[in-house]
Amino acid sequence: MAGGFFDRSAIVAPPGWSRWLVPPAALAVHLGIGQAYAWSNIKTALGTGPGNLGYSGTATALPFQLAIVMLGLSAAFGGTQVEKRGPRWAMFVSTVFFSGGFLISALGMAFSQYWLVVVGYGFFGGIGLGIGYISPVSTLMKWFADRPGMATGIAIMGFGGGALIAAPIETALIATFGKSYGGFSMTFLVMGIGYAVFMSLGWLLVRVPADDWQPPNPLQASPGSTGHGPAVSVSTAMRLPQFWFLWIVLCFNVTAGIGLLERANPIYQDFFATTGPTTQIAAAAGAFVSILSLANMLGRFVWSSASDVIGRKNIYRMYLGVGALLYLVILTLGEGNKVIFLIASLLILSFYGAGFATVPAYLKDLFGTYQVGAIHGRLLTAWSAAGVLGPLVVNAIVDAQGDEQGPSKYSVSFMIMIGLLAVGFVANELIRPVDPKHYVPDAERGGVEGAGVGTSSTESSSQRNEEVSR
């Protein structure tokens, strides 16, 4: 019977069900798994500082690194299952794996076996991250076919916001239970139970729209998302240039953001080294990191929502083109000029977050909602690649410059970021609407896959061309 409860057919919304119940379900999952970005708090306490457990930087980075690798792999390989089984199953699996990862970690610390933290948080928790990340995406786009960018922006903003919730909680738990093995065991135990409860709202509440459900604002529907529009299978999408151009767009947009995010603290200190006492600059650099995370989070909602109005291609022109110009502004005018430096940095990070949030709607415009969750999962491998590429570029170049001081230390790496953004800009320009010959036949679309998006059966391919080109 359990299979029935988690089955897609068990969660078809009854008449009158509010679609505004779906975003909180998605947020419960994304705000939970977004804790991953706050691993650094735990990492620091496990590390070599006074009173800490004394694990090396490499050892304490391992759980997070493995979790990000597993995120990419499980999103890529689990996407098809998520599409097939539906969002309740996916959210439940995510809850079990993510909170289970904490419980395994708690057990590991209780027996002073750190490798269990790597396996628990990294391997099992990482699977929870990947499945959870893609779990609400296609469902949200079906409910909000008239505002897909806003809908996915809300959910993916949750992933950015998850760290904001987790960071002060982790600090409080570590302060309460202490930095011993037993203390960390209790911290992981409380977090595991807490996230299990918090994320459960998602799989209990999520619903898919009925076959005949229509969005309330059909006249404002995105032309590319209505009627018998694009419906491309994941296997076909992977063979099309549109997928790989978008892969490059996402990869380089993320790389450029990580380039700044990864070394935000030292970058700030180098740009403003001469503007005050060292302790004051260090405190301001810490605040700079915090405000960047706020920009990263808000950009996901604001710019992704704006893409519903100005078009997906145009908004990526802004992320990539204006992003490159902003890097140039920081390089040429940023030293000692706090206002310009802050505005440019905040915009770059808002574009970084928005790149994640807007991409599901871009995929929907190109390939339709038919298997968009699975296609999105495959596309997230671009994130994994960027996670390696961004820090590699910045760290390797800065380290190679040895004793050089001040902003000039970053000139080469920032120029590389500008180059990557320019390549991404060109890739975005090369994206064209998918030829209808690649669509699956109408008879195969069936069921709730097409629900909520059938507002017009007379849509012309010229309308779709217009949508994808703006």
Partner 1 sequence: MTAGRTALTVVAWLWVTIPFLYGVIALIGKIGALF
Between 24 and 321, whose beta carbon lies closer to partner 1? 24
Classify 31 in phi/psi space as left (phi over 0), alpha (psi -120 to 50) or beta: alpha
CB 383 within 8 A of CB 72: yes
- Residue 238, interface with partner 1 (CB under 8 A)? no
Write out the binding residues for partner 1, residues 152-171 only, by CB under 8 A. Answer: 158, 161, 163-168
Between 61 and 284, whose beta carbon lies closer to partner 1? 284
Q: How far is the CB of 287 from partner 1 (least distance, A)?
A: 4
DSSP three-state, residue 369: coil
Between 15 and 51, whose beta carbon lies closer to partner 1? 15
Q: How far is the CB of 31 from partner 1 (least distance, A)?
A: 6
Q: How far is the CB of 93 from partner 1 (least distance, A)?
A: 20
Looking at this protein, which amino acid is placed at residue 213?
Answer: W
Q: Binder to partner 1 among 2, 3, 4, 20 (CB under 8 A)?
A: 20
DSSP 256-288: HHHHHHTTHHHHHHHHTTTSS-HHHHHHHHHHH
Q: Binder to partner 1 among 49, 175, 275, 283 (CB under 8 A)?
A: 283
- Residue 77, interface with partner 1 (CB under 8 A)? no
- Residue 24, interface with partner 1 (CB under 8 A)? yes
Choices 11-19, 232-240, 318-326, 439-447 (CB under 8 A): range interacting with partner 1: 11-19
- Residue 342, interface with partner 1 (CB under 8 A)? yes
Choices 1-9, 61-69, 145-153, 284-292 (CB under 8 A): range interacting with partner 1: 284-292
CA distances from 172 to 176, 250, 267 (A): 6, 36, 29
**Other CB atoms within 10 Å distance of the CB of residue 273:** 15
- Residue 174, interface with partner 1 (CB under 8 A)? no
- Residue 288, interface with partner 1 (CB under 8 A)? yes
DSSP 12-45: BPPTT--GGGHHHHHHHHHHHHGGGGGHHHHHHH
Between 28 and 315, whose beta carbon lies closer to partner 1? 28
Q: How far is the CB of 95 from partner 1 (least distance, A)?
A: 14
Residue 298: name the closest of 234, 356, 368 by CA: 356
- Residue 37, interface with partner 1 (CB under 8 A)? no
CA-CA distance, 273 to 174, in Å (whole number)? 32
- Residue 286, interface with partner 1 (CB under 8 A)? yes
CA-CA distance, 98 to 81, in Å (whole number)? 18
CA-CA distance, 10 to 166, in Å (whole number)? 32
Q: How far is the CB of 343 from partner 1 (least distance, A)?
A: 13
Q: How far is the CB of 293 from partner 1 (least distance, A)?
A: 7
Q: Binder to partner 1 among 16, 50, 216, 402 (CB under 8 A)?
A: 16
CA-CA distance, 273 to 295, in Å (whole number)? 23
CA-CA distance, 378 to 234, in Å (whole number)? 9
DSSP three-state, residue 218: helix
- Residue 284, interface with partner 1 (CB under 8 A)? yes
> Measured between alpha carbons, how far apart are the two ends of the chain, in Å?
47
CA-CA distance, 386 to 394, in Å (whole number)? 12
Choices 115-123, 174-182, 290-298, 377-385 (CB under 8 A): range interacting with partner 1: 290-298
- Residue 340, interface with partner 1 (CB under 8 A)? no
DSSP 119: I
CB 399 within 8 A of CB 263: no
Choices 13-21, 92-100, 237-245, 437-445 (CB under 8 A): range interacting with partner 1: 13-21
- Residue 205, interface with partner 1 (CB under 8 A)? yes
- Residue 271, interface with partner 1 (CB under 8 A)? no
Q: Binder to partner 1 among 9, 21, 217, 442 (CB under 8 A)?
A: 21
**Residue 208, beta-bridge partner list:** 12
CA-CA distance, 292 to 349, in Å (whole number)? 6
Choices 51-59, 178-186, 197-205, 383-391 (CB under 8 A): range interacting with partner 1: 197-205
CB 267 within 8 A of CB 391: no
CA 19 to chain centroid: 22
**Other CB atoms within 10 Å distance of the CB of residue 431:** 23
Kindly report the CA angle at 421 between 425 and 336, in degrees rounded to 5?
135
Q: Binder to partner 1 among 7, 198, 265, 429 (CB under 8 A)?
A: 198
- Residue 293, interface with partner 1 (CB under 8 A)? yes
DSSP three-state, residue 12: strand
- Residue 334, interface with partner 1 (CB under 8 A)? no
Site string for partner 1, 385-424 (x = CB under 8 A): ----------------------------------------
| Residue ranges binding partner 1 (CB under 8 A) | 16-18, 20-21, 24-25, 27-28, 31, 158, 161, 163-168, 198, 201, 205, 280, 283-284, 286-288, 290-291, 293-294, 342
